[in-house]
Amino acid sequence: MSSPVGQNDIRRHNSALVLETVAASPGISRAGIAERTGLTKTTVSMLVERLLSADVLAETGPQPRPSGRGRPATALSLSPTGPHGLGVEIGVDHLALCLVDLAGRVRTYRTLPGDHRGEDPARVLDRACGAARTELGRAAADGIPVSGVALAVPGLVEAATGVVRAAPNLGWRDVPLPDSLDGLPVSAANEADLAACAELWTGGHPGLRDFLYVSGEIGVGAGLVVDGALFPGSHGFAGEIGHVCVDPTDAGARCRCGARGCLETVAGREAVQRAAGAGAGELVPRLEADDARAVGAVRTSGRLLGTALASVVNAVGVPAVVLGGDYALLEPWLRPPLEDELAARVLTARWSPVPVLAGTLGREAPARGAAQSATRATLADPEAYVTGRRDRAATEA
């Protein structure tokens, strides 16, 4: 059941529409927005005015030569000094912090190593919040406004409540996350889902609006993008493939989640390194040197990964797979067995094969996705930010 709609909702919607249009084609003029959206020039001018005054949009000078004659247009873009988003990735063996502007450009990206396995969740969260506060302090000192913070967690995050239901690799169960920090709203989501969003929003595959993003880190996760939006599934747990059983025999290795034969135990970072007989950082060089053991290990992992992915691809009919995290680096060796497996197991592959692509954002994807998810809130409902800012200014005065 949806809610009633009044005049302000219409402005809300149109304001978001205008902003979205500028984001999609930076440098567009008011007249161009009007033409593209179907709104009147009057309306566009009014909405742009509001967005300018809130520093969400910025005029980037008169466009020198649009086409021929006529009054030159004033180009509009997302303001580089507009509200930024801070993403905090709570990884298994590191923290990452990323600050992005409205257009998704990275302003800062920092990582802080540190093993979080089995540590007290409260201490890990303290550490993450502390790092976030430091980052916010720096931003404030530089005059960069921040409108929200988002956490990326390698586990099942209940979006509605902000509770981590389970994060086997961290050893977390039912850990509530903070919902605000220094007065800023804090959201949280699964690390792979956010990484998928990052590839969708600012990745190197423009036009790709339907894909399954597979994140191979210490754990294995996936994010499902359908029709240009993250598909959360019934309870926000779609695409959780790390603990799908791929080796039902008792011989399967025991997983941190307690079960046996999980995908992670054969395709997670540590399993692959072990099977390849390679330490951290040694894997890719060995693969490039055509080391038989390493190549074989990656091929085996690829097969099993393909089995698990085929299920998801079949179930949702998603037409492409994007490899992220470590998998992006392993793409040349991982792709052939994966594509074989997908071709054999995916129904629609018979008439339209499922391409396997390498992600373009590397290890930064989760934190970037988180940071952007914070700015997306502003982009999706700029009017809320505009009025919020106005109110804040009023109370301060």
Alpha-carbon distances, residue 354 vs 91, 186, 286, 323, 357 (angstroms):
30, 36, 28, 13, 10
Angle at CA 81, nearest 5°, toward 78 and 85? Answer: 85
d(CA 170, CA 120): 9
- By CB under 8 A, which span of 80-88, 110-118, 187-195, 304-312 interacts with its own copies? 304-312
Please name every residue paired with 163 in a beta bridge, in sequence order, or none if there are none: 158, 176
* Interface with its own copies, residue 7, by CB under 8 A: yes
Task: Indicate which single residue of 24, 38, 250, 351 sits in contact with DNA (rule: CB under 7 A).
Answer: 38
Residue-level length of the chain: 397
Question: Which among its own copies, DNA, none contacts residue 241 (Cβ within 5 to 8 A by kind)?
Answer: its own copies
- By CB under 7 A, which span of 40-48, 160-168, 328-336, 339-347 interacts with DNA? 40-48
* Interface with its own copies, residue 3, by CB under 8 A: yes
Question: Which among its own copies, DNA, none contacts residue 68 (Cβ within 5 to 8 A by kind)?
Answer: DNA
Six-digit token pair at 4?
Answer: 């009633």
Among positions 41-60, residues that touch DNA (CB under 7 A) are 41-43, 45-49
- By CB under 7 A, which span of 36-44, 79-87, 329-337, 342-350 interacts with DNA? 36-44
Question: Which among its own copies, DNA, none contacts residue 81 (Cβ within 5 to 8 A by kind)?
Answer: none
- State the virtual CA torsion across 159, 162, 166, 168 in degrees, nearest 10: 100
d(CA 74, CA 55): 16
Q: Work out whether the CA dihedral 332, 335, 337, 340 comes out positive or negative.
A: negative
Task: Indicate which single residue of 23, 36, 73, 275 sits in contact with DNA (rule: CB under 7 A).
Answer: 73
Select 125 or 262, whichever has its Cβ closest to its own copies.
Answer: 262
Smallest distance from the beta carbon of 44 to DNA, in angstroms?
Answer: 7
What is the distance between the terminal CA atoms of the chain, rounded to a whole angstrom? 40
Task: Indicate which single residue of 314, 353, 360, 381 sits in contact with its own copies (rule: CB under 8 A).
Answer: 314
Smallest distance from the beta carbon of 267 to its own copies, in angstroms?
Answer: 15
* Interface with its own copies, residue 245, by CB under 8 A: yes
User: What's 306-367 look like in SS3?
Assistant: HHHHHHHHHHHCCCCEEEEEHHHHHHHHHHHHHHHHHHHHCHHHHCCCCCEEECCCHHHHHH
Residues found near its own copies in the complex (CB under 8 A): 1-7, 9-10, 13-14, 17, 20-21, 24, 37-39, 43, 210, 224, 226-227, 231, 233-241, 243-245, 248, 259, 310-312, 314-319, 344-345, 347-348, 350
Residues found near DNA in the complex (CB under 7 A): 4-8, 10-11, 14-15, 29-32, 38-43, 45-49, 62, 65-74
